[in-house]
Amino acid sequence: MTEKKLPSLAVAGATGAVGTVMCELLSSRENKFGDITLLASNRSAGKKISVRGEELTVRPIAPEAFDGVDIAMFVGPDEISKEYAPIAASRGAIAVDNSQVFRMDPDVPLVVPEINPELARNRPKGIIANANCTTLTMIVAIYPLHREYGLRELVVSSYQAASGAGQAGADTLHDQLAKVAGDISIGTRPGNIRQAIGDDTGPFPAPLAMNVVPWAGSLSDGGWSSEELKIRNESRKILGLPDLKVAATCVRVPVVTGHSVALHAIFGSEVTADGARGVLRGAPGVILVDDPAAGEFPTPADAVGTDPCWTGRIRRSLDDPRALDLFISGDNLRKGAALNTLQIAELVTEELTA
């Protein structure tokens, strides 16, 4: 029997923060693709990037770049996904999109392979969406608990890294840290962090170095930010719980890479901390780190560069036997973006080569 040819792949946005991680993942994971094409803006076209030990030249993104491509992954700006993902689909590629553009489209599945891999086969528009990085930080750990106890409500506080705002976010934090380094008076008097940094705060509305900023995203109705509404809406869609009660507060913290979330989760049945640990121990995509007495709990410094959702600080609520409090950290550029997108593409590959 003739072995089926591996599907060809295009990566749109290959030179950005997520695209860089994607190229690393393509080189380190089991190879499930045939020819790979790297695409980016005209400004980045011509760059050379090593993938799977081969030096590839980045091509400019254009409609004809998707001709003959089986799977197209979009890991760049929203505007690129909005314009080119439908074009890629119209030219025969299956588009896997990391942007927010298609997530809530009822005709586009929102897929997390550890939770709902079967939805990847149902794509009326030829597009599969990837969830927001903060949602992905927590949802892989929440799902097995939901399956066991029946999730009813979520209260989420996020601690989001600078790189969640793209390469500009990470660069801004590094620049700000350089400006305040060595001055022990910084942060001891009103306004002196901003004075040291200046008016250019990059993609953030306030200085991030030696500070936290209780805002991520754009302003939505009622004072909610777009990031907070993404957590609510995407969690409902991924878990298949359209009436799930979710309240989120999103905060930027001076971490380069690695989102964290503190969760208060209320379930339909009684839950214990030991029971929750038993559910999470060995759950796909989860690593349990929960021994506070030994100083062991999740931090972004541990999670960065790794694939799992690091989960710990598991406590049953003091006031509700149906509620748990826990803390989760994950690499927002890996599972939160590039890895989940790639895992979806690998699901499609399995389908195409079956």
Q: Is there a catalytic annotation at residue 23?
A: no
Please check the confidence at residue 3 and state whether its pLDDT lies above 90.
no
Using an 8 Å Cβ cutoff, are 250 and 231 in contact?
yes
Distances (CA, A) of 326 to 90, 143, 182, 317: 44, 14, 35, 10
| CA atoms of 278 and 299, how far apart (whole Å) | 21
Phi-psi region of 309 (alpha: psi -120 to 50; beta: other; left: phi over 0): beta
Please check the confidence at residue 1 and state whether its pLDDT lies above 60.
no
Task: Determine which one of 146, 250, 259, 309 is catalytic.
Answer: 259
Q: Tens digits of per-residue pLDDT, 269-290?
A: 999 999 999 999 999 999 999 9
| CA atoms of 140 and 283, how far apart (whole Å) | 9
Q: Tens digits of per-residue pLDDT, 193-246?
A: 999 999 999 999 999 999 999 999 999 999 999 999 999 999 999 999 999 999
Looking at the chain, the whole-number percentage of residues with pLDDT higher than 70 is: 99
Task: Determine which one of 133, 146, 250, 309 is catalytic.
Answer: 133
Q: Rounded mean pLDDT of the chain?
A: 96
Fill in the amino acid letter for 265. Answer: A
pLDDT, position 314:
98
Q: Is there a catalytic annotation at residue 259?
A: yes
